Every structure is written in structure tokens, then in C-alpha cells.
Amino acid sequence: MIPVSGFEGQSVAILGLGRSGLSAARALEAGGATPVCWDDNASARERAEAEGFEVRDLARAGAFEGIAWLVVSPGIPHLYPTPNKVVAAAWEAGVPVDNDIGLFFRSFGSGEWDMYDQPPRVVAVTGSNGKSTTSALIHHVLSEAGKSVQLAGNIGRGVLDIDPPKDGGVVVLELSSYQTDLARALTPDIAVFTNLSPDHLDRHAGMGGYFAAKRRLFAEGGPDRAIIGVDEDEGRYMVNQLTHGAADDRVIRISAAGKLSGPGWNVFARKGFLSEYRKGRQAGSIDLRQIAGLPGAHNHQNACAAYAACRALGLAPRMIEDAFHTFAGLPHRSQRVGEKDGVSFVNDSKATNVDAALKALMAFDNIRWICGGLEKEGGLDALRPALDRVAKAYVIGREAAQFALQLDGCAGEVCTTMAEAVARASAEAEAGDTVLLAPAAASFDQYDSFEKRGDDFIAEVRKVLG
């Protein structure tokens, strides 16, 4: 646990008692503060009371009397589409609003560090797609290299649940826009931006607000090294904002769209090969085509980001390459479930938006595509470049018929349920086909999470595999 500093003897309110909320309460108490907790869910309040925390309705009049700080869980809107009533009450009471990420960064340092040969470092990864795989890949490479490393944030453990880092230790954080948007302290040593595509637009009032939330990690975080995906205009803009000239190698540009040139530090993937160039000279290369845990161009972008982060931490190219070959990938992200009679089954339930689904589709040929769910803003037109790879779409979800109508030019069948979709796709698949779950939609019309949706796909596929 990382005890939260700066609130000794003070009361700190916590709104939302999920994983991050209860973790924050424990860490605040460990640092000498008195947590005051609230959640609209009665069972969540009961869990907090069972741990001995005070529970108080923070929406009632006068609830913020004597409160020094408010910590808000990431799922609770603090501004758009409308501020939560408790957040608005904190504003009126003049109480600063923060989240567990802000508490982590203000409390991460320790007096013990004076005795360390190498102070611990934080690598923070954000972006629309690929941040989980990139974070996990960095963690895996560092672990294989014998480093003391912990994975936390939007993946793995809560940020305040990790152990105090050891001499030379590294903490790898995956950070969503919900987390970077509100944190009052953001001070990573290395910050990674993978890419940007429309997502969570209601929480950020459009693309501008969404990008601004991601950009805070760099503009306000002031990392020593920034690793920026430049395959979108937003990444190119951010590179220009952060550099002091073309040769400034404090910024590492990464791309999976083509070769990068110039005197700076560049890492790119082209035709399945990762290349590193620094000061105009090649410094490393990896053949990514035979790395089973990183299929497709989207994973090659993740590989570039992870490679750049590990190089910035001082690892040699060969050490990184060896670790890439032992990376098994993450569940629900281009996860190969099995094969039967020449037909492969791949679970990419994490492809909850159109951009992620497009990248998943571009990684395979002859696809039996299971898609559909709670559609996000923007429609499905961006998927058209990949539809020639799709032999047939099998659409699930409560609005499956409406979803299917948007797949103009693509053979489709409304299946509604996962069981029917897997059964139909596997029955019609031929040797060389891939049955791919890449929904291009959220899961909440039928499942509690994309993980539950992926688990259902796996369960149905295992029936087929026998």
C-alpha cells in the first residue's frame, strides 16, 4: 500500500466505493487521515462500514462541513454530461476534488529514496486503444529483464494498493481519460500516448475535451521522456508542442503507419518489422511477424510504444526482442481461443469502439465476424475499409437488426445472442477462416462488462472445440 500523505488529522470524503474508492480509503487511513465514505449502492456502503469506515450521505446539506478533500471514483461524472450532485456540492463548499491517481502521485515519493542508488520511476500509458496491451507488454519485458516492476491503474492493481517501490523499481500505470482528466497531480517519469479515436465523448463533451483529458498527462505532467503515437493529427500536434526542435530526443515518435525520418528518436513498424532510429542512424530492429502474442498492425503499434519505453529505461534491443517472444497477450484482446479443422477462433471483446474493431479486422483475412452491442456515437462507416476481409457478419445485441443495417455491402445475419452467433459462424466457417469477436460496441446491453462478453464467447467456442 502507498499511504496517502498530506492529510494527517483531516477528514477526506470518498465518493464511489468500488475498487479504487475502498483502496483510497485504506491508503488515506494509513496516512493518518479520516475517510468519510459514500456510495449510492447500499451493499457498497455496507462493505465500507464492515471495514470500520464512517459512511455519510455526501449529498445532504452540510455534509462537507469539516471535509478537507473529495476523492471521486473514475466512473462518476465530474463535469460532463452533468456534474454529479456530490461533486457540485463540493464546489459550493470550496472543497478540492481529486481522484486516486492524484493521491498516488502526491504520495509516491518516500524519504527512504535518499538511500536508493536509483530512485523508482513511473511509466504512465494513455490513449484510446492499445494502452492495456502496451502497459502489460512493458511490465512483461521489464519482468523478463529482472527488474522490480509493478502494474497498476486501469489494469492490474489499484494505484494505491501497490507495494512501496524498491531501489530502481518501476511502476507501470495504465491511465484512462477518466483518470487523467481529474487528477490534481500527474508527474510520470515516462508518459506514453498510443493513439486517439472517438470514445467516451459524452464524458468529455466531444473530441476536443477527450483529447484535452489525455493531453494533461503530458502538458501538466511534464514527463522526462514522452513517447507519442503520430498516426493521428493529435499526436503530431502534441509532438510539436513538446519538442524544442527536430533533434530533441526527449520525445520519441512512434508509428505503425509508415517509416519515420529525421534527426530525433523514432520507432516505427513497417511491413511487420520494428525499426528504431536515433540521430538518423538505425539503433535496433525486430521482426514482429513471428511473435504470436502481438498479431496485426495495431499490436505492432503497441510493440513500438513498449519498445520505446523500455529503451528509455535503458534496456538493450535484444533483451526487449527476447521478451516479446514470450508475451502471451492479454485476455479479450486478439486472444486466440483455439482452432478446429483449420478454423481459428479469436476473442477481441475489448474492441468496444469502431477504431479498435477496424484494427482487429485488419489483422486477419477470411473473417466470420461476430459484432454488435450498445453502439457508440459516430456510426460504423469507419469500418468500411476492412469489410472486404469479412465473409459474413453475425450480429448480436438488443439492437442487432439496426446494427446490421449499417453494414452495407457486407453479408450479415441477425443472431442476437452469443450462443447463436458462435454456432452459426462455426457451422459456416471453412478451413482458413477466422471466427472473430470484435464487437465495435459496448457490452452493457447484454453484459456487465466486455470481460463477461468475452468469457461468454470463449465458453461457446469451447463447446464447438469439444
Ligand-binding site membership of 187 (annotated): no
Q: What does the DSSP 8-state code read for residue 40?
A: S
The span from the CA of 202 to the CA of 75, in Å, is 12
Which residue bears the cell 516505427?
268
First to last CA, the chain: 44
Instruction: Give helix 131-144 / helix 296-312 axis angle, nearest 10°.
Output: 50
User: 3-class SS at 146?
Assistant: coil
- State the helix-helix crossing angle for 317-324 and 131-144, rounded to 10 degrees: 110
Does 131 show up as a binding residue in the annotation? yes
Q: Is 147 annotated as a binding residue?
A: no
132 is annotated as contributing to ligand binding: yes
User: What contacts 335, CB < 8 A, 6 or more positions away?
Assistant: 329, 346, 347, 348, 454
C-alpha cell at 303: 510493440
For 67-103, give the DSSP string: EEEEEE-TTS-SSSSS--HHHHHHHHHT--EE-HHHH
Q: Is 20 annotated as a binding residue?
A: no
- Of 295, 411, 438, nearest to 354 (Cα)? 438
C-alpha cell at position 117? 542508488
Q: Is 360 exposed, middle or buried (0-12, 13-18, 19+ CB in 10 A)?
A: buried
421-456 b/e (C-beta count within 10 Å ≥ 16 → b): bbbbbbeebeeebbbbbbbbbbbeebbeebeebbbb
Asked whether residue 127 is marked as a ligand-binding residue, the answer is yes
State the virtual CA torsion across 409, 415, 416, 417 in degrees, nearest 10: -140
The annotation status of 128 as a binding-site residue, yes or no, is: yes
Pick the closest to residue 38 from 23, 57, 66, 20 (CA basis): 57
**Which residue is it, cell 528518436?**
265
Cα atoms found within 13 Å of the Cα of residue 460, Cβ hemisphere only:
24
Query: Can you tell me the distance from the alpha carbon of 465 to that of 427, in angstroms, rounded to the nearest whole number?
Result: 12
Binding-site positions for ATP read 127-133
Binding-site positions read 127-133
